[in-house]
């Protein structure tokens, strides 16, 4: 491949080819996790489905490896790669609402932020089952499952996916849905709903169900406690969440907040972010038992969900600082005293004060879908804790990674698996943990849609990569997309 070939590609697509050393290239390689500094040979910004087909064919013909970039929020930076090609869909951002069917059609360069703003402006009050952070991209989020603050009311994001337009590596443009006429397209649709981004082809658009929530404005609450109350409060929470209706979700958080008595200073706290899909009074009554446990701070508000997501989502961003992210799936009742003790011990010894944990409160409607209805394998999980170790100086990398690794290794006895959307290159037995007993079916689908492994990557379906966890940890897997 030489300059002449590249100008051929540029002439045959309506989008752009970005080369290193140009401002557009430099901007396109910026992702949420600033630790990831992978630099592709060039970037193709596609502007149409045909551009995607042409780029795939071009890369295959020229033996160039390729990854696709959506919102760039993969914790491991798997949307980028070193030395290959990045197919960036950020120019493809069309959104269209069919109010009658209650379906929004979205091109895969759009982020949840754009969908929230679009729906707010539509004046319909309709909401998607979207990401808690508005800058998260839809393609990665959706293909991993997708937990939303209202998933306990309406299911996972994938439970609300109506169809996907997917370009497979054979160059076919497929319209996947549960009732597609080709049985293999139905299998692929199953795989794309939980089997993880980057494995099946390039998604160009999706049709997604939207819902009219129970009330226009929801109750949202922020409740924080001093860490020395963790055993008592989390022990209570562990039992109490099992009594809640599906309309209530009570997420967890553990990290720094401004000190209420001296806002110039920050203090460690843990607590909850509550969202009630219903009347304020009923939601506040449900939260009463938590308020009686003597929190340090409480703030209850009424706001539409998309507006809340636009404000709240920024709190979990890494925002281009350096990060290593770990996560697990926990079954109901997992916050046992020994589990809480691990949180206490590690949060008290974090090398960086800015590291924090958030956890999703799952269950409810998510559990009501049959286990094999989609590729997502964790319907029985109740909590999804995610640790973000965050630091700035390169010399602090090892201490932070080793702390985060040891922290979640100590929580393993309380985990039932891991979440592919919080993908972790230093997770052992990752295929089993991400996909449980769905893995053999995913593997069969992968072998059929990508028999030569054109879209193979370190933790892609079919990869036999296993991290070496002897100490000191080998950090190389954190800095690559392809194993070889």
Q: Which residues bind ligand FAD (CB under 6 A)?
A: 32, 67-75, 78-79, 89, 108, 131-133, 136-137, 139-141, 144, 146-147, 197-198, 202-203, 316-317, 421
Q: Residue holding tokens 């920024």?
A: 314
Q: Provide the minimum distance between the beta carbon of 182 and ligand FAD in the complex, in angstroms, as a whole number.
A: 19
| Helix residue spans in 316-380 (DSSP H) | 337-347, 365-368
Name the CA radius of gyration of the chain, rounded.
22
Structure tokens at 373: 């209805």
Among 315, 290, 312, smallest CA distance to 303 is for: 312
Q: Provide the minimum distance between the beta carbon of 421 and ligand FAD in the complex, in angstroms, as a whole number.
A: 4
Q: Provide the minimum distance between the beta carbon of 265 and ligand FAD in the complex, in angstroms, as a whole number.
A: 25
d(CA 359, CA 362): 9
Q: Are 330 and 385 in contact (CB under 8 A)?
A: yes
69 or 174: CB nearest ligand FAD: 69
202 or 223: CB nearest ligand FAD: 202
Structure tokens at 317: 């961003």
d(CA 310, CA 137): 14
Q: Provide the minimum distance between the beta carbon of 266 and ligand FAD in the complex, in angstroms, as a whole number.
A: 20
108 or 381: CB nearest ligand FAD: 108
34 or 331: CB nearest ligand FAD: 34
Q: Residue holding tokens 């562990």?
A: 238
Among 314, 321, 316, smallest CA distance to 33 is for: 321
Dmax over CA atoms of the chain, in Å, equals: 71
403 or 482: CB nearest ligand FAD: 482
Q: Residue holding tokens 């003790």?
A: 341
Q: Provide the minimum distance between the beta carbon of 139 and ligand FAD in the complex, in angstroms, as a whole number.
A: 4
45 or 340: CB nearest ligand FAD: 45
Q: Provide the minimum distance between the beta carbon of 220 and ligand FAD in the complex, in angstroms, as a whole number.
A: 14
d(CA 249, CA 153): 9
| Helix residue spans in 204-304 (DSSP H) | 230-240, 280-291
Q: Provide the minimum distance between the beta carbon of 360 and ligand FAD in the complex, in angstroms, as a whole number.
A: 7
Q: Provide the minimum distance between the beta carbon of 477 and ligand FAD in the complex, in angstroms, as a whole number.
A: 15
Please state whether beta strands 262-276 and 248-259 pair in parallel, antiparallel, or not at all (unpaired): antiparallel
Q: Are 339 and 416 in contact (CB under 8 A)?
A: no
226 or 479: CB nearest ligand FAD: 479
Q: Are 174 and 191 in contact (CB under 8 A)?
A: no
Structure tokens at 403: 């702390």
């Amino acid at each position: 491949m030489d300059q002449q070939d590249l100008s051929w590609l540029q002439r045959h697509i309506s989008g752009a080819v970005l080369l290193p050393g140009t401002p557009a290239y430099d901007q396109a390689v910026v992702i949420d996790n600033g630790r990831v500094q992978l630099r592709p040979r060039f970037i193709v910004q596609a502007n149409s489905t045909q551009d995607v087909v042409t780029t795939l064919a071009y890369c295959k013909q020229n033996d160039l490896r390729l990854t696709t970039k959506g919102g760039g929020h993969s914790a491991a930076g798997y949307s980028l790669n070193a030395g290959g090609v990045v197919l960036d869909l950020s120019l493809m951002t069309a959104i269209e609402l069919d109010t009658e069917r209650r379906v929004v059609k979205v091109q895969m360069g759009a982020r949840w932020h754009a969908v929230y703003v679009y729906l707010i402006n539509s004046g319909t009050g309709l909401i998607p089952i979207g990401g808690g952070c508005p800058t998260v991209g839809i393609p990665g989020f959706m293909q991993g499952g997708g937990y939303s603050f209202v998933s306990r009311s309406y299911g996972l994001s994938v439970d609300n996916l109506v169809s996907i337009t997917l370009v497979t590596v054979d160059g076919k443009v497929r319209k996947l849905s549960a009732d597609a006429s080709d049985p293999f397209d139905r299998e692929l649709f199953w795989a794309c709903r939980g089997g993880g981004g980057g494995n099946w082809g390039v998604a160009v658009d999706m049709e997604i169900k939207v819902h009219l929530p129970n009330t226009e404005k929801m109750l949202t609450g922020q409740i924080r406690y001093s860490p020395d109350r963790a055993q008592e409060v989390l022990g209570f929470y562990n039992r109490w969440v099992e009594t809640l209706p599906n309309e209530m979700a009570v997420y967890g958080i553990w990290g720094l907040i401004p000190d209420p008595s001296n806002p110039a200073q920050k203090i460690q706290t843990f607590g909850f972010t509550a969202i009630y899909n219903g009347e304020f009074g009923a939601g506040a009554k449900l939260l009463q038992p938590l308020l009686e446990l003597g929190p340090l701070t409480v703030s209850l508000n009424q706001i539409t969900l998309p507006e809340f997501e636009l404000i709240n989502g920024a709190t979990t961003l890494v925002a281009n600082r350096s990060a290593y992210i770990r996560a697990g799936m926990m079954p109901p009742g997992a916050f046992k005293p020994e589990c809480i003790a691990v949180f206490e011990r590690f949060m008290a010894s974090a090398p960086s004060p800015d590291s924090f944990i958030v956890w999703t409160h799952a269950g409810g409607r998510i559990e009501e879908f049959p286990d094999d209805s989609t590729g997502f394998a964790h319907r029985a999980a109740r909590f999804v804790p995610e640790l973000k170790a965050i630091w700035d100086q390169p010399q602090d990398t090892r201490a932070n990674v080793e702390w985060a690794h040891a922290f979640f290794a100590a929580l393993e006895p309380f985990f039932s698996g891991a979440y592919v959307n919080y993908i972790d290159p230093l997770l052992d037995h990752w295929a089993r943990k991400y996909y449980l007993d769905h893995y053999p079916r995913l593997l069969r689908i992968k072998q059929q849609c990508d028999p030569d492994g054109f879209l193979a990557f370190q933790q892609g379906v079919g990869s036999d990569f296993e991290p070496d966890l002897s100490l000191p940890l080998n950090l190389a897997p954190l800095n690559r997309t392809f194993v070889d």
